[in-house]
Structure 1
Amino acid sequence: MHSTASLRTITLHTRHIMWLAMAALTSILTFSACERDYTYRGGSEGLQFSTDTLTFDTVFTAVGSATRQFKLYNPYEEDMTIDAIALAGGDNSSFRININGIATHQLADVRLRSRDSLYIFVEVTVDPLGVNNPVVMLDSVLFITQHLTQAVKLIAYGQDVTVLRQARLGSQTLTADKPYLIYDYVVIDSLRQVTVDAGARIHFHNNASMIVKGSLVVNGTVEAPVTFEGDRLEKDYDDIPGQWGFIHFFPGSKNNRIDHAIIKNGVIGIQADSIGLGHDAPLELANCRFEHISSVGLLTENSSVLAYNCLFADCGLHSVALTVGGSYEFYHCTIANFFPNYGQPRTSAALFINNYYRNSSGNNVIVPVTKTVFANCIITGSHGTELAFDLKSDQETETADYRFEHCLIKADSRMEELNDVNHFRNIILNQNPMFKNTKAYDYRLDTLSVAKDIGSAIYAQPYPTDADGNKRLVDDNPDLGAYERVEAE
């Protein structure tokens, strides 16, 4: 016969077992209720997509593209399973897809919750094509469900490219047949001349540069300019600065002429170091466009430069910096710096002129600025003053022989030099030149611009056409800057 205590113990033990059993059953039922059912395979309306076509910009052969993406949507109230997502071209496709972190050509039984979405990432690499012109590459991403197969089209333009990596160039011609892609650097050897044909495209990979010890002759035209730019060809990178290094003319380089070139997206556009001196011809820049440069568009050190019909625009530091003296002639140039504010407003002038350097002992060594002229030019921008000097004087010699004539200049009106007629004549000070659209990088003059018809015909005579090939001597007087206003525009 059990005691009362023993009966109580058995009853408590029984209740504990029943409680555990109930808890386990509840957990099973709860888990079953929360577990998602992906047995639905989609309806006749199909899936939805953020786009029906994914287009890549030109892709150099053997160089992978940037990743692009689109979104896939489950429009149904039920969680569903997509039978398969696959590239139509299969393993032979130039494209690659990534789904849920899995790089593949196809993936089966892809689950997607009700009203949820999924990113599909796509890349493309094009094998060498053996032709000069771009070739269209086509494929599709297929989405297979129970009732139908849908597709998002993929389009890329493959372009063969000539790769130059740490290359030394002798006398040769770079043609317009297909682009050149520079890695690290190329060097034009001393006493050698590289000629660049009209329409040639020269691209630089990140930090790559061109070193000129010999001669560089660029023969672009209005219809077919030569481009020097980075290798990111997506439109989003079109105006991004700092994508490559610079073109650097070393001391001893000579007979350099660049005509109708677009130099963009670098850290420095052109750096000229002690060239064009003595009996050597100056570095000649004709009808060139420097823009979207992270530091300086044209940086010189004790050099001689002739520039006409050139645009120096939108640089992070200076559009033009003429340092450590030298001799310079700028005719019908537009120096306009509206560099975007990338979180740090620009504080430097568009045009900077300096005539000394500090030696290893900490002493200033003056190198005179000689025979320097800016005529029929525009110097303006978004900063308070766009002209700055850093000049040291020497009582025995002339250290700053420069003049500005028939120019529109944005500068601090308190600058003493502006009142010196030996340096400034026929100047329009601090007026808006009224470009057509600086946000779209269009530096042609608008119809009401104050820079119209106020240039000197004498300075315009050697340059009768503007950077776009328009005649500038058909009306009363030439306009200031690189672009003549055409009233039919």
Structure 2
Amino acid sequence: MKRLLSFLLCFGILIFWSSCRNDFKFTPSKGQLEFARDTIYLDTVFSTIGSSTYNLKVYNRSDEDIVIPTIQFENGESSLYRMNVDGSTGLDNENQIGKFFEDVEILANDSLYIFIETTVDIATQGTIENQFLYTDRILFDSGSKQQDIDVVTLVKDAVFIYPNRTPIIEDDVVVEYIIETLTFDVDGDGTPDETTLQGRYLLDSELTFTNEKPYVIYGYAGVGAGKTLTMEAGTRVHFHADSGIIVTDGGSLNINGTLSPDQETLANEVIIEGDRLEPLYSDIPGQWGTIWLFNGSENNTINYATIKNGTIGIVADGNQDAPNDKLTITNSKIFNFSSFGIRGTATSINAKNLVINNCGQSSFAGTYGGKYNFTHCTIANYWDSSFRQFPALLINDFIVDENNTIFTNDLTEANFNNCIIYGNDNPEFLLENEGSVFNYKFNNCLLRFNNSSLSGTGNYDFDDTTFYNNNVFNEDPKFKSPFENLMRIGDDSGAKGIGNTFGVAEAPRDILGFLRSSSIDAGAYNFIIFED
């Protein structure tokens, strides 16, 4: 009985308190709203591609509950922006959805969120420029009480490459699309195989990428037999999720960037990354697939390129014994890959002034044998997003099939000259062999290997000059900021002055174009004295 009386007393107090409240009486806004910012900058978007959603917080600092008579875009129904105000899409009128809102309430000392996004077709804007600023204003109320916030978006035109879509129609309605997939000889038996990879082969008119407009690729762009995809200096390529390039049997890829005097803009480099342009995505791995140099592709070259933010930077398969190297890569940087920076399988790669860093597995993996020659390269791995199973450098001569059968292939060469092989794990290189031919050599390199149980045994007999010569172990390379991919070395670097003249003959200038002097540093960069 006491509990019942207590409940009834509390219930009565609640009813009385509620009946006395007047906080549902809203007064019109007096033009004293406060905003978290005075301009909304939607980051750069590609023409016809929707932006991310950005937010604006609006505050009512007064002690009164207020109502805002109208919230709208200055450009009205023709605005290319869309809003959502605290979960509402606005008037039901088709032309005013996301454009016009009436009687928006804010409680005393409370706030609301406005979410803004846009999709702009540059072709409809009466401009022949490749980019332009699209602007509008959000108007709160009207007349003397009106307040406003500017909204600004940089829109870039682009060349879009995507597979064909075939509509499936039922009862005069498109129910789904069948997206074109690539067909090529996957298993090397001479017969083309159908794959599940969405994409198409590039037309002859599409085989030269220029710096006039960025390229946005959906699915995999294929380079067929006898064709060469050329990327000129200054080209920008952006891949959508699960997209990339496949160079098939008899095809070639030539990336022809040049040194950029301005290292901020990298105007002359070829830059390959994802299609999300917001700063939030500037260093996020896994945004796209890979550049796949398929078995039989040949004479692939990459110079002055930055390749970043995908799953695997480059996959190179086969052609180990071809007269020319499968891939020659120089003066290039590969960063932020959720799996490997470069993964070679029974292939041949020649690299000079190459920098690889921040990969979820190995920065470079040469698997199932092959032929690899690296000079003045920085193979580092400072991945910190998850557990990393493999070291920065992985070399082996075998594969294991689904039945746990081991197949071996000769490692004819794996030479690392004047290189840095380092990272935030230990050890940072792994050599595994099952076959009889396993040739490797480290000359004048800075190596991270501090494992007493392995040192001096098997492939890690560092006193055996057949395989190791004049190397330095476990001295800090003193990278400028390796977790941000700033891989220049400082004046007190363990890589300073440890190189040999053979490396200079192969790569007389460092990746920034500076001459290598008589005091030769290991890695892709000459040392500098960092400013505080």
Structure-2-length-normalised TM-score: 0.82
Would you say 1:386 and 2:428 are equivalent positions?
yes
Provide the rounded CA distance (Å) in 2 between the counterparts of 1:276 and 1:84.
69
Of stretches 443-452 and 320-329 in structure 1, the one that deviates more from structure 2 is 443-452
Unaligned runs of 5+ in 1: 1-24
Structure number with greater Rg is: 1
Would you say 1:161 and 2:198 are equivalent positions?
no
Q: Please give the per-residue CA displacement for 1:298-340, whole angstroms capped at 9, x wherever unaligned.
A: 0010000001101110000000000000000001110110012
Unaligned runs of 5+ in 2: 1-11, 90-97, 163-198, 261-267
Identity %: 35
Q: Is the 8 A contact 2:383 2:483 kept in 1?
A: no
Give the RMSD, CA atoms, in angstroms: 2.0
Hey, what does 2:245 align to over in structure 1? 210
Provide the rounded CA distance (Å) in 2 between the counterparts of 1:412 and 1:367.
29
Hey, what does 2:182 align to over in structure 1? none
Would you say 1:329 and 2:373 are equivalent positions?
yes
Pick the aligned partner of 2:512 from 462, 468, 478: 468
Would you say 1:274 and 2:318 are equivalent positions?
yes
Q: Is the 8 A contact 1:132 1:178 kept in 2?
A: no
Q: Is the 8 A contact 2:320 2:346 kept in 1?
A: no
Q: Is the 8 A contact 1:170 1:194 kept in 2?
A: no
Hey, what does 1:411 align to over in structure 2? 449
Would you say 1:107 and 2:94 are equivalent positions?
no
Hey, what does 1:256 align to over in structure 2? 300
Hey, what does 2:483 align to over in structure 1? 439
1:50-61 superposed matches below 5 A: 50-61=36-47
Matched residues, number = 456
Hey, what does 1:319 align to over in structure 2? 363
SS of 1:292 mapped into structure 2: strand
Of stretches 126-135 and 371-380 in structure 1, the one that deviates more from structure 2 is 126-135
Q: Is the 8 A contact 2:480 2:530 kept in 1?
A: no
Hey, what does 1:358 align to over in structure 2? 400
Would you say 1:34 and 2:15 are equivalent positions?
no
Structure 1 residues 400 and 112, CA gap change in structure 2 (3 angstroms):
same
Q: Is the 8 A contact 1:262 1:289 kept in 2?
A: yes
Pick the aligned partner of 1:119 from 113, 116, 122: 113
Would you say 1:178 and 2:213 are equivalent positions?
yes
Would you say 1:303 and 2:303 are equivalent positions?
no
SS of 1:388 mapped into structure 2: strand
Deviation of residue 431 (structure 1)? 1.1
Deviation of residue 27 (structure 1)? 10
Provide the rounded CA distance (Å) in 2 between the counterparts of 1:304 and 1:26.
83
Amino acid at match of 1:167: R
Amino acid at match of 2:297: S
Provide the rounded CA distance (Å) in 2 between the counterparts of 1:38 and 1:328.
77
SS of 1:470 mapped into structure 2: coil
Pick the aligned partner of 2:232 from 197, 217, 232: 197
Structure 1 residues 26 and 240, CA gap change in structure 2 (3 angstroms):
closer
Provide the rounded CA distance (Å) in 2 between the counterparts of 1:139 and 1:218.
40
Hey, what does 1:84 align to over in structure 2? 70
Would you say 1:369 and 2:438 are equivalent positions?
no
Of stretches 404-413 and 109-118 in structure 1, the one that deviates more from structure 2 is 404-413
Off by >6 Å, runs of 4+ in structure 1: 25-30
Pick the aligned partner of 2:83 from 80, 97, 100: 97
